[in-house]
Chain A
């Protein structure tokens, strides 16, 4: 089990009132699953994503990530967990503008203190089919390419899960489909994926959907094929290489980087 969320509660103080952003959220995610967390704005899905991503701690309840209880860890320890166990993909890509693609992807490895960072980063870029754009800066890349660099960065530390927040939100439909195809390919090879989205068609591509409303889980069910529109999975995988990932290890120890091509 990758994620074990137990009665997670998070509230914020807004002036005199206390807002219950998360009011007892419980669910589990197994390894290799691809789930969507959906809900309207104000439902608490951003807060849940921050907690799942170890950017914030729950007020009460437990969050066990890949076998480790991270609910009460120190900020430095959480930073380490974010570095090794979690890969973020943001709606606005969040690449550092003054670094090129390779340097952006290598950054988590540098924070981890690894010496073969450049090699591993190059490998990750090959996995997202951007080996020809390694030295380009973000402003020289299209939206879809930037998001692919972000996915490579999320992959580079071989994390336990990829946490994507509206990954196609800033992309046009076609590019959005490309990115979703990439994510599906990663999932097919064994990666655990958690997508936070408010778009129904994106949610329908996942195998399971957790609906949030007012800080509580209102539904946690597999996406059925008999739902209104058909479950649409992009059926082209142009330009997306099928990655071969070794199964992520629980302890965050990275396998040695392969020197030659994949």
Chain B
């Protein structure tokens, strides 16, 4: 009963001083909006990455060089995967398809069009493993892959950028100055934000390694397991082959490579994006703290203004804790309401961002609830000192206050 009267008095008090109340809330509104928007960016990034990983398929294994990741990203990749490793893996039980992969960026030219593009050197099996269908023309053949042919398959966005509406098949493009014949165009897969699979040039691995980029080592080996295979067993078998070939045990036991499946990538990606999200949200939270200081300021002024009223309340029987609770409640109302408005503003911003920036966003309910609770906590924390001041006022002096 007293609670609802207190809430009502608090709301009346805020409404009577609209401008001041709004300015007090502003810090919290902006803080909460920033936190929600940052969390939305982080969640959007996470979802994007996870969708991409899911598209990998559950029976895809990727062999890469470098130290095993401990908590998150492996830093610095070694160079130790060679073609012979890839060939050796082909014999492993449970392997359905396999593709060695090298990658680099190069200037790709046609007529007067010129753009830096990602160039992937690999075998035809890559298109199956990574789920690229051919929309026009064909893949290059195994023979072409092995024999340094100058053939290329391009993505639909690259095709459009270089050829416009014209038919690319049979035309010659220059990759790093070397002429390639376009034999095929892949079907669109959709831009994934930080990586566009439709803006690529695929060439035979032998050509890429020897003539384009001068590489001896592979970036990775993609392996597709047989559908009914026990993935863990295949993973271990592949690892055993490489371990032996690289003589890991002789050199101290640690693997100098990784064999990862989809679940491993999910875990890595989740950790990275969650750290990223946490950093973003923490920075945004600083503005929320500043908002709390604003509330404390306003409440101190309010308490001073209502000194007489506090004296009267004490005279008619309010205890110190009653007064404390009353003013805490008023702070929480300010910060809570500011939090609500901040959620609205933040959600609106999160919906607007994908239209104006390359960021994708996703607003999740738990984030909203956490932000609201946090804003209420800010009200309690920063409202505490002014409320204590109010509660400890001497009734005799308070009644004398003009």
Q: Residues on A close to B: CB < 8 A? A: 50, 53, 55-56, 75-76, 79-80, 82-84, 88, 90, 94, 96, 98-99, 103, 107-108, 110-113, 115, 117, 153, 157
Q: How far is the CA of A112 from the CA of B322 in the complex (A)?
A: 11
**Which listed residue, B16, B312, B318, touches A79 by the CB 8 Å rule?**
B318
**Which listed residue, A75, A108, A113, touches B316 by the CB 8 Å rule?**
A108
Q: How far is the CB of B366 from chain A (nearest CB, A)?
A: 38
Q: How far is the CB of A138 from chain B (nearest CB, A)?
A: 12
Interface string of B355-367 (1 = CB under 8 A from A): 0000000000000
Q: How far is the CA of A88 from the CA of B399 in the complex (A)?
A: 12
**Can you offer 9 A-B residue contacts whose CB atoms are under 8 A?**
A82-B317, A84-B317, A94-B399, A96-B309, A98-B16, A107-B313, A108-B316, A110-B1, A113-B2
Taking the complex as formed, is B352 at the interface, i.e. its CB lies under 8 A from any CB of chain A? Answer: no
**Which listed residue, A53, A98, A115, touches B315 by the CB 8 Å rule?**
A53
Q: How far is the CA of A161 from the CA of B318 in the complex (A)?
A: 18
Between A55, A75, A112, A113, the greatest number of chain B beta carbons within 10 A of the residue's beta carbon is seen for A55
Q: How far is the CB of A17 from chain B (nearest CB, A)?
A: 19
Q: How far is the CA of A112 from the CA of B316 in the complex (A)?
A: 10
Interface string of B309-332 (1 = CB under 8 A from A): 100111111111110000000000
Closest to A87 in B: B316
Chain A positions within 8 Å of B316 at CB level: 82-83, 88, 107-108, 111, 153
Which residues of B (1-45) have their CB < 8 Å from a CB of A?
1-2, 5, 9, 12-13, 16
Closest to A107 in B: B316
Q: Which 5 A-B pairs have the closest CB atoms?
A: A83-B317, A110-B2, A111-B317, A79-B319, A108-B316
Between B9, B16, B308, B395, the greatest number of chain A beta carbons within 10 A of the residue's beta carbon is seen for B395
Known: A55-B396, A94-B312, A117-B1. A111 touches B13 (CB 8 A): no
Chain A positions within 8 Å of B2 at CB level: 110-111, 113
**Which listed residue, A80, A94, A98, A99, touches B317 by the CB 8 Å rule?**
A80
Chain A positions within 8 Å of B314 at CB level: 55, 79, 82
Closest to B309 in A: A96
Chain B positions within 8 Å of A53 at CB level: 315
Which residues of B (343-402) have their CB < 8 Å from a CB of A?
395-396, 399
Q: How far is the CB of B261 from chain A (nearest CB, A)?
A: 64
Closest to B322 in A: A111
Q: How far is the CA of A148 from the CA of B57 in the complex (A)?
A: 82
When the two chains form their complex, are residues B13 and A98 in contact, meaning their CB atoms are under 8 A apart? yes
Q: How far is the CB of A170 from chain B (nearest CB, A)?
A: 14
Chain B positions within 8 Å of A99 at CB level: 9
Q: How far is the CA of A153 from the CA of B396 in the complex (A)?
A: 19
Known: A82-B315, A82-B316, A111-B317. A94 touches B396 (CB 8 A): no
Known: A88-B315, A110-B2. A76 touches B395 (CB 8 A): no
Q: How far is the CB of B293 from chain A (nearest CB, A)?
A: 27
Further 13 A-B residue pairs, CB within 8 A, beyond A50-B396, A56-B396, A88-B316: A75-B320, A80-B317, A83-B316, A90-B312, A94-B315, A96-B309, A98-B16, A108-B317, A111-B2, A111-B317, A111-B319, A111-B322, A113-B2
Closest to A108 in B: B316
Q: How far is the CA of A82 from the CA of B395 in the complex (A)?
A: 12
Closest to B392 in A: A75
Chain B positions within 8 Å of A88 at CB level: 315-316
When the two chains form their complex, are residues A112 and B317 in contact, meaning their CB atoms are under 8 A apart? yes
Q: How far is the CA of A113 from the CA of B316 in the complex (A)?
A: 13
Chain A positions within 8 Å of B319 at CB level: 75-76, 79-80, 111
Q: How far is the CA of A95 from the CA of B190 in the complex (A)?
A: 69
Chain B positions within 8 Å of A50 at CB level: 396
When the two chains form their complex, are residues B399 and A111 in contact, meaning their CB atoms are under 8 A apart? no
Q: How far is the CA of A84 from the CA of B319 in the complex (A)?
A: 13
Q: How far is the CB of B324 from chain A (nearest CB, A)?
A: 12
Chain B positions within 8 Å of A115 at CB level: 1
Q: How far is the CB of B115 from chain A (nearest CB, A)?
A: 68
